[in-house]
Amino acid sequence: MKAMTMAMCAALFAQLATGAEAVRDSGTTFVKDALSKYVESGELPGAISVLYDNGRQEVACVGYADAEKKRPITLDDHFMQCSQTKGFCGVMVAKLVEEGRISLDDPVSKYLPEYKGAGFLILPRDAEGKMLCLAVTNAITVRMCLNHTAGFPFELPGYVQMGGWSRRMPLRSVAATAISQRLLFEPGTRAQYSNVGIDVAGAVVEVVTGMRFEEYLKKTLLDPLGMTETTFYPSEKQLEGKIELYKVKGGQKAKWVKDLPSMQRPYGDDRVFASCGAGLWTTVRDQLKFYKMLMNLGVGDNGARILKEETVKGLLAVSSRPAGLGGYSLGLSAPEKDGEDKWFGHGGAWGTECNVNWHRRQLKMWVIQETGEPRPWVKDWRKCADTFFKAKNGGDAGEYTGRMN
């Protein structure tokens, strides 16, 4: 079965280059060799790795999408990318900034009237036991929503009852609910990782474009790049072949998970709304088109221009936060200062991640669907990536994986 899995990956390898660039097989099997022992023991159900270095590429499909049915994992299996969705929202806003339709420092109230004069903090009790409720001083801006400095919590109260990341309410409703709740701090003064803030930015996109977020995303990004399998609404057929979710713990056999409170069924019917913070489903083949576009400074492998070079360099590949608050741009983890050894990208709650270095035209992608700790195979994968890039002096990616409370 292992031979079949690798044969399927090999057959699919040649199809990864969708444009004129010739992607050549590196001839290495670093990841397969390192991870096979975990699959054989049952600790790791399956994983996909793509390591790319300026035209040289190693692809590994190790193990199973469904370990119980012994269904091999492939580049065309669907999976929930969770927080990697944030980068898609960041690209949509960057596109509107490029067109002069949005300024990152516009107050959100310019687009969402419920934000005018809104926002409050609850201070700890004073010496007399009084709790003060104060209006915030700083206006929440579009930039703050996208780089997690707006003061929003990780999620809304009761988000589990709203379906978790398979949202049961539209973006405008999420935004209105968010501003009716207390903020965690004065906007722009701290950082708090937040799905809510990204959804608020998505609501702004809907107001500016006059389109539902998913429609604008499809028109301006998914269709031009040929990303036909990326969606907020996976079909039953797509879900039949999805990468199953497992609870893992190093040294023990992985256990299949049917549902989690943050990832509730149904996933794709008319009760589901777009969640810009965590809702997109995709495949490795599709997701590569998105990150290759970022690596290529706005141009897809098929030649489609999505963003200008300066937009990627200035808005996405480098942090947009105030100094000292850590590196984060628009829905993407990014360095505080750019440089030849710097990477940017994002990760997702179930273990997915992808980071790119546009200076060296390098990419490393890891796809898995698992919850639980420890995950010793991730450390081994990082070592494999370092080995793969060693000839080109590739550095540590500073990977950021989406997280949950």
The CATH number that applies at residue 303 is 3.40.710.10
> Would you say 324 and 41 are in contact if contact means Cβ atoms under 8 Å apart?
no
Element at 346 (helix H, strand E): strand 344-347
Q: What's the rounded Cα separation, in Å, for the pair 12 and 221?
A: 24
Q: What is the DSSP string of 209-269?
A: HSS-HHHHHIIIIIHHHT-TT-BSS--HHHHHTPPPPEE--TTS--EE-S-BTTBPSPSSS
Q: Give me the helix-helix angle, 85-98 and 284-295, nearest 10°.
A: 40
pTM confidence score: 0.90
Other C-beta atoms closer than 10 Å to the C-beta of 343 total 26
Question: Whose CA is closest to 144, among 190, 82, 112, 92?
Answer: 190
Report the candidate in 84, 143, 95, 96 with the shortest Cα–Cα distance to residue 277.
Answer: 84
The total number of residues shown for the chain amounts to 405
- pLDDT per residue as tens, the chain (405 positions): 454 455 445 444 444 444 446 799 999 999 999 999 999 999 999 999 999 999 999 999 999 999 999 999 999 999 999 999 999 999 999 999 999 999 999 999 999 999 999 999 987 766 676 777 889 999 999 999 999 999 999 999 877 666 666 677 899 999 999 999 999 999 999 999 999 999 999 999 999 999 999 999 999 999 999 999 999 999 999 999 999 999 999 999 999 998 877 777 778 777 788 999 999 999 999 999 999 999 999 999 999 999 999 999 999 999 999 999 999 999 999 999 999 999 999 999 999 999 999 999 999 999 999 999 999 999 999 999 999 999 654 333 333 333 333
Q: Which residues contact 351 (CB under 8 A, 6 or more apart)?
A: 366, 367, 368, 369, 370, 375, 378, 401
CA angle 360, 362, 365 (to 5 degrees): 160
Helices of type H across 29-80: 30-41
| Cα 266-400-360 angle, rounded to 5 deg | 120
Distance of CA 201 to the CA centre of its chain: 15
Structural domain harbouring 178: 1-405
Give the total number of structural domains in the chain.
Answer: 1
- Cis amide prior to 266 (ω within 30 degrees): yes
